[in-house]
């Protein structure tokens, strides 16, 4: 039985990833393109490099974490990498464009390696902390709750920092707002540092697996290989990848969409994702209480999420740009939160 103190400390071990990924997906691309004034293709390429490094580093780091040292030490290493790199992604370098590109690329690469290290080390703690499936499910749910709460906190903080009425400007943000993004990034890192220190101090190191358990895991390799040959696995992977791609596109490009509208309060850049996560949290609580009674079919829930995604696209397409009205943006944000959860 895992005590509440251990659950609480476990939940804090991933906060720095949650707050940094919120800023990365929501603001990195628009920051590089509008604040730093890089070409759209260059900004997109830097963003792509980050995602590519993440995809390559994740399995490689997973192998290293499984073989060497403890999960908490790897988590601490990931925190250090994020701390020394993430603020520089939202820093404006005073130099000509082509010479600052390597600076951003290097910071992004270090950040993504650190992010992957924390992600894998924290997730791999779950089977080591408990052998009970119910407790593992509770820890997984706790990770999601902390993820949502971290995003809500970071967007509320961003709202108060970014909020400014720009009636005489054609854009919601402009190069003079660079300091705001830098402040938000630094505050996010400080929040992550505090939570990571608490995690390292309070969480007891899980016992090292005995040899019998290790041998048992090795014997499951053949079963795992047979699962990998199943066509359903690849079909599921295709569906998940497509859904995840649509989610990321929404997070990345909604700030650009807001910048193209006649809304002239930059605080909406934080309010839009904030309402999205609030809507997601409400639906999550509703499913926990009512889902088992009325709908426990994953296919039905996925279909409902797909319909919400289509409605989200329609609401964005029909958004009137003749006047300053943020209603459609909030509707799109709520629909985005619904289909992201489902």
What are 153-167's pLDDT values in tens digits? 999 999 999 887 565
Sequential DSSP letters for 50-63: HHHHHHHHHHHHHH
Distances (CA, A) of 297 to 281, 292, 323: 20, 9, 42
pLDDT in tens, 22-63: 999 999 999 999 899 889 899 999 999 999 999 899 989 988
Q: Do 20 and 150 form a contact (C-beta atoms < 8 A)?
A: no
Residues 6+ apart with CB under 8 A from 136: 126, 127, 130
Say what the alpha-carbon torsion angle 188, 190, 196, 198 is, to the nearest 10 degrees: -130
Q: Which CATH number is associated with domain 1-208? A: 1.20.1250.20
What residue ranges do the domains of the chain occupy?
Answer: 1-208, 220-342
What pLDDT is recorded for position 211?
Answer: 46
pTM of the model: 0.85
DSSP letter, residue 270: H
By the 10 Å C-beta count (0-12 exposed, 13-18 middle, 19+ buried), 325 is classed as: middle
**238 contacts: CB under 8 Å, gap ≥ 6:** none
The average confidence (pLDDT) of the chain is 83
């Amino acid at each position: 039985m895992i005590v509440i103190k251990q659950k609480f400390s476990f939940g804090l071990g991933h906060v720095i990833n949650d707050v940094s990924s919120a800023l990365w997906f929501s603001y990195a691309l628009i920051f590089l393109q509008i604040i730093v004034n890089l070409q759209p293709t260059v900004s997109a390429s830097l963003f792509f490099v980050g995602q590519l490094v993440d995809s390559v580093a994740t399995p490689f780091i997973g192998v290293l974490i499984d073989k060497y040292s403890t999960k908490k030490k790897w988590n601490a290493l990931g925190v250090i990498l994020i701390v020394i790199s993430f603020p520089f992604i939202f820093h404006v370098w005073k130099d000509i464009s082509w010479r600052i590109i390597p600076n951003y690329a290097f910071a992004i690469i270090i950040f993504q390696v650190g992010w992957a290290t924390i992600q894998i080390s924290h997730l791999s703690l779950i089977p080591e902390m408990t052998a009970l499936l119910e407790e593992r499910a509770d820890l997984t749910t706790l990770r999601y709750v902390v993820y949502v709460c971290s995003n809500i906190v970071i967007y509320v903080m961003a709202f108060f920092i970014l909020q400014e009425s720009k009636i005489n400007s054609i854009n919601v943000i402009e190069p003079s707002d660079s300091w705001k993004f830098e402040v938000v990034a630094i505050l996010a890192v400080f929040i992550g540092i505090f939570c990571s220190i608490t995690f390292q101090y309070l969480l007891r190191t899980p016992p090292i697996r005995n040899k019998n358990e290790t041998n048992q895991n090795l014997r499951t390799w053949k079963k795992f290989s047979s699962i990998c040959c199943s066509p359903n696995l690849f079909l599921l992977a295709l569906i998940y990848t497509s859904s995840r791609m649509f989610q990321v596109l929404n997070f990345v490009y909604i700030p650009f969409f807001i910048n193209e509208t006649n809304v002239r309060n930059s605080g909406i850049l934080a309010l839009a994702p904030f309402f999205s996560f609030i809507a997601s949290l409400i639906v999550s609580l509703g499913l926990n209480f009512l889902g088992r009674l009325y709908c426990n079919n994953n296919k039905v829930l996925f279909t409902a999420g797909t319909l919400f995604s289509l409605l989200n696209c329609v609401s964005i397409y029909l958004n009137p740009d003749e006047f300053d009205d943020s209603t459609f943006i909030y509707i799109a944000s709520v629909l985005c939160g619904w289909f992201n959860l489902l």
